[in-house]
Copies of this chain bind each other. A is one copy, B any other.
Amino acid sequence: MNSNVPWEVWSRERQRRIEEVLTRALARTALQAPETLGDAMRYAVLGGGKRVRPLLAYAAGEATSADPAHVDDCAAAVELIHAYSLIHDDLPCMDDDTLRRGKATCHVAFGEATALLAGDALQSRAFALLGQASIERAGAACALLAEAAGAAGMAGGQAIDLAATGKPLRLQELDTMHRMKTGAMIRASVQLGARCGRALAADEATALDAYAMAVGLAFQVVDDLLDVEGSTASLGKTAGKDAAQGKPTYASLMGPAEARRRLEVLHADAHAALRSFGTAARRLAELADWIVTRNS
């Protein structure tokens, strides 16, 4: 693909690409799963989602001149972790949600027990892919992904979210929660994608991480604004549920206007962090724009 194609073309091609990679990774012959379990895993992963994390991995790979074929496993692994977290997050004992990506949530479609196991098995599948990926130091990559997904990252952020429901939270605590809940996996997506290409100098790695942190928080601010301003139809998930569940959000804590101003600062931070990469970071910059301006 010509590297000068517009963002829309590039991102659509990468979304198509990751769909194929995920389809292969979850194919019957690859999974060797009992039928219903395999169906639940495919149902939860395939044919939906914006694929933000895979796009981040591919875009970071572009910044380090990685062959997209070498990024595939990393991109799939981060999406599988994301998909598993959505299944578990939607369970009755968590958010108890019935709608996701415009269709019934996994436990509504397959029952709670199968949904629980499908989430568990998707987490395993992520490490099965990444562990045998054709990248250097695949073990270290697995450790990086595991830290981001685990108690100090995504799962920890969900635990804070759980404890915070119905309680007042300070802005700093909300930041901490989101840095863990969504930010950790967004950073991991960028780091893993970048590892697939040339080695980075320390200041380049720091810059990429600053980009990822800004984009991660921006992503969450947009999510909060959309939950207030969007409709269930356009989101493909239940709108207004944060407020209904008494969850603290940037919109509720700062007000939508102030939240929008914060979003602009984070957007600018993301672009500033990419400066030293020049045109190699084009896709990362465009991805930041896309995340900030998305409406679903």
**Chain A residues within 8 Å of B, Cβ to Cβ:** 31-34, 36-38, 41, 84-85, 88, 91, 93-94, 111-114, 116-117, 119-121, 123-133, 137-147, 149-153, 155-156, 158-160, 162-163
Q: Are A160 and B127 in contact (CB under 8 A)?
A: no
Cα distance, A137 to B135, chains bound together (Å):
12
Cα distance, A160 to B120, chains bound together (Å):
15
Q: Are A159 and B91 in contact (CB under 8 A)?
A: no
Q: Are A123 and B120 in contact (CB under 8 A)?
A: yes
Report the minimal beta-carbon distance from A222 to chain B, rounded to whole angstroms. 25
User: Which B residue sits closest to A139, measured CB to CB?
Assistant: B138
Q: Are B121 and A156 in contact (CB under 8 A)?
A: yes
Q: Are A133 and B124 in contact (CB under 8 A)?
A: no
Q: Are B32 and A121 in contact (CB under 8 A)?
A: no
Q: Are B117 and A158 in contact (CB under 8 A)?
A: yes
Cα distance, A136 to B182, chains bound together (Å):
32
**Inside 8 A of A33's CB, which chain B residues have their CB?**
151-152, 156, 159
Cα distance, A155 to B121, chains bound together (Å):
6
